[in-house]
Structure 1
Amino acid sequence: MNESLAAFGNDPWWIVGVKTLMIFVFLVLLTLFNIWWERKVVARMQHRIGPNVHGPFGLLQSLADGVKLAFKEDIIPKAADKVVFVLAPIIVVVPAFVTFSVIPFGPEVTLFGERTPLQLTDMPVAVLFVMAIASIGIYGIVLGGWSSGSTYSLLGGLRSSAQMISYEVAMGLSLVAVFIFAGSMSTSEIVAAQRDLWFGLILAPSFVIYTIAMVGETNRAPFDLPEAEGELVGGFHTEYSSLKFALFFLAEYINMATVSALATTLFLGGWHAPFWLDRVWDGAESGFLPVVWFLGKVLLFIFGFIWLRGSLPRLRYDQFMSFGWKLLIPVSIGWILLVSTVRVARNEGVFDSGPLSSPGVLLAVSGVLLVAVVGSFFLPAGQEEEPGASTTYLEPRAGGFPVPPLPAGGAVRGAAAPLVFAGDDDTPRSPRPAAGASAGVNDG
């Protein structure tokens, strides 16, 4: 067993129970805070006040809404498969809690007289464990949509399954570069490997791809297509109410915290102090203070979720799927090849001397160039006009107003003339094509 993993598995049973209870309480309280925070931030963006009545600064509003939701009438549709309908929210919410079991909150501390790491457990394939457990939640969403006996819910469940599977591929590929550079899949060892330099800096493309994929993975705006209210009336949980709907809601916000914590662990140094404060402050990474650094980085990602929801409109489903399969996945594969090449070159001693003595510098420069090249595909391109084609816009007569142009025949292919209102009686009169011209105006 690796030395970094030797500290796990030796805790007394009651310490394991205390850690489990602490993680559960932390996630529930974090969910209540995130709901309040999202309402306040979006309200500020829209020049509103937001929750400000229940509790100080409205902090108890989320708790009041949760209690109200739990005591509302629980309705099960007549056409629903009752057993699966009840089990689906449980299948969604349980993996959301389990994934936090391998997230490191801090270094080893003394807890109730016992020396233990601030992490429930760890394993050599901890990151793969997170991905595998998180994938189980997809079954709950699909089964919830199928068991509702509603076409809208079924379509929302199918959308969600296709969306989450597609973006899990891009997310998994973005993590391969981290595994190659860290030499491990253990979360605690990956955090230890970032003590000097965060992977978010030297593996910038992986970081960007992961942040995009984690928004699609959690079904958050602008990728909240399974819950498209204008198309699916709420998506896979349309027929759910009361506590079962609250479980879906709880799972969504815990999944936000999970992917944010994983991003912090893999790319932003985990619980290590930001801006390398540990080099000028000896106590920056001692005791329970690293929990503050970890929580601050997680809240930074969650703020990004909120900012996106208040800023961007929802994408079309075909655009969203094309973006994942045709851009994110190919770029991820190309970046993995580049990182693998640099890794082999470092093992062969290519970076021992010379201007490329640091592989991190080479990866950082390559990453910036790759992001710039990919970003160039999103620049607006100028629209080229067909040679010889032109569109004539005619001014309407007095008393009339222009309307969208209608196709009209003429000598020039593709030209169109607007329908105008002419005359004193505002009678609509269609344009009459003139010989040798694209369109004319009715003189009558």
Structure 2
Amino acid sequence: MTWDFIVLFLNENIPLIVGSVKAVVIAVGVMSVVPLLVWLERRLMGRFQVRLGPNRVGPFGFGQPLADTVKLLFKESIIQTSADKFLFHLAPAVVVVTAIVGFAVIPFGEPFEVFGQNIELWGANVNSGILFVFAISGMGIYGMVLAGLSSNNKYSLMGGLRSSAQMISYELTLGLSALSIIVLTGSLSLVDMVQAQQAYPFILVQPLAFLLFFIAGIAETNRAPFDLPEAEQELVAGFHTEYTGMKFAMFFMGEYINMVTMSALVTL
């Protein structure tokens, strides 16, 4: 009787179970990529600047991200007495959550069957997928602004305002360059955009749109030479100047997850 109940429960809740598993896999998977990206970027930047980069922990410095993670886990989280504590704690969570949610609509491949169930290789097939990604990434701006406002620090506030201004400015370029792909596809769904390019990639007919999207994507993720929101000479470290420990790491985690999402959009 108990076994029959379990089988019945599983059969009736398979979509919920599959959705929950995919949510966990997407969240854990994309967060696991962040240390690799940090290591890769630091190694490449070292080569570009004629230096070694991280090379002490493990072979080729591969253990450096793990060492940094352990260090940040055990660092004390210091909050100014005059800071808005609720918004101070909320800001890094907003940045990370919006980054992960935006990645959920990225398709990875064709659906396949497992025990008669159709498994789709994406978190959610939203009909307006490209607009969903832009909207969610726009919500991440609130996290940066809240970090600057709640820190009670003039450099943090200026960094937050500069970050929001830059992201809002380049989102216009992202939207206009993506509009050409929407016209060619006739759909806002990212899945439909991928399927429409089975014959030939749209970069062949829209090279200028690709170039604009690529440059705007670099600006959206605060990569050089668009890293003005974190200009050390002017703003110390930008909107996260007053953050330490894992809260500081959460801002960087959200930034690198946004890099993965933007890279996926470019390849689509």
Superposition TM-score, scaled by structure 2 size: 0.91
Q: Is 1:262 matched with 2:265?
A: yes
Cα distance between partner residues in 2 of 1:153 and 1:264: 34
Cα distance between partner residues in 2 of 1:112 and 1:256: 35
Q: Which residue of 1 aligns with 2:17?
A: 14
Q: Which has the higher contact order (CA 8 A, sep 6+)?
A: 2
Q: Which moved more, 1:149-158 or 1:52-61?
A: 52-61
**Aligned partner (choices 53, 63, 66) of residue 66 of structure 2:** 63
Q: Is 1:174 matched with 2:177?
A: yes
- Percent of pairs identical after alignment? 52
* Moved segments of 4+, more than 3 Å: 110-114
Q: Which residue of 1 aligns with 2:216?
A: 213
Give the letter for the 1:264 counterpart: T
Q: Which residue of 2 aligns with 1:252?
A: 255
Local SS of the residue matching 2:141:
helix
Local SS of the residue matching 1:102:
coil
Deviation (angstroms), 1:155:
0.6
**Aligned partner (choices 161, 165, 172) of residue 162 of structure 1:** 165
Cα distance between partner residues in 2 of 1:125 and 1:249: 28
Change (3 A) 1:204 1:157: same
Q: Is 1:136 matched with 2:130?
A: no
Deviation (angstroms), 1:112:
7.0
Deviation (angstroms), 1:56:
3.8
Cα distance between partner residues in 2 of 1:33 and 1:112: 34
Local SS of the residue matching 1:115:
strand
Name the count of aligned residue pairs: 256
Larger Rg: 1
**Aligned partner (choices 67, 72, 75) of residue 78 of structure 2:** 75
Q: Which residue of 1 aligns with 2:36?
A: 33
User: Unpaired runs of 5+ in structure 1?
Assistant: 1-9, 266-444
Q: Which residue of 1 aligns with 2:105?
A: 102
Give the CA RMSD over aligned residues: 1.6
Q: Is 1:86 matched with 2:89?
A: yes
User: Unpaired runs of 5+ in structure 2?
Assistant: 1-12
Q: Which residue of 2 aligns with 1:124?
A: 127
Cα distance between partner residues in 2 of 1:167 and 1:46: 28
Change (3 A) 1:85 1:204: same
Local SS of the residue matching 2:143:
helix
**Deviation per residue, 1:96-154 (Å, 9 max, x gap):** 00011110011112457733121111121111111111111000100100111011111
Q: Which residue of 2 aligns with 1:328?
A: none
Give the letter for the 1:164 counterpart: M
Correspondences of 1:269-418 after superposition (within 5 Å): none
Deviation (angstroms), 1:50:
2.6
**Aligned partner (choices 241, 244, 254) of residue 241 of structure 1:** 244
Cα distance between partner residues in 2 of 1:141 and 1:54: 32
**Deviation per residue, 1:18-49 (Å, 9 max, x gap):** 21121112211211100011111122223333
Q: Which residue of 2 aligns with 1:342?
A: none
Superposition TM-score, scaled by structure 1 size: 0.56
**Aligned partner (choices 115, 118, 127) of residue 115 of structure 1:** 118
**Aligned partner (choices 149, 155, 158) of residue 146 of structure 1:** 149
Give the letter for the 1:47 counterpart: V
The structure richer in helix per residue is 2
Question: Does structure 2 retain, via aligned residues, the 8 Å contact 1:171–1:209?
Answer: yes
Question: Does structure 2 retain, via aligned residues, the 8 Å contact 1:70–1:246?
Answer: no
Deviation (angstroms), 1:158:
0.8
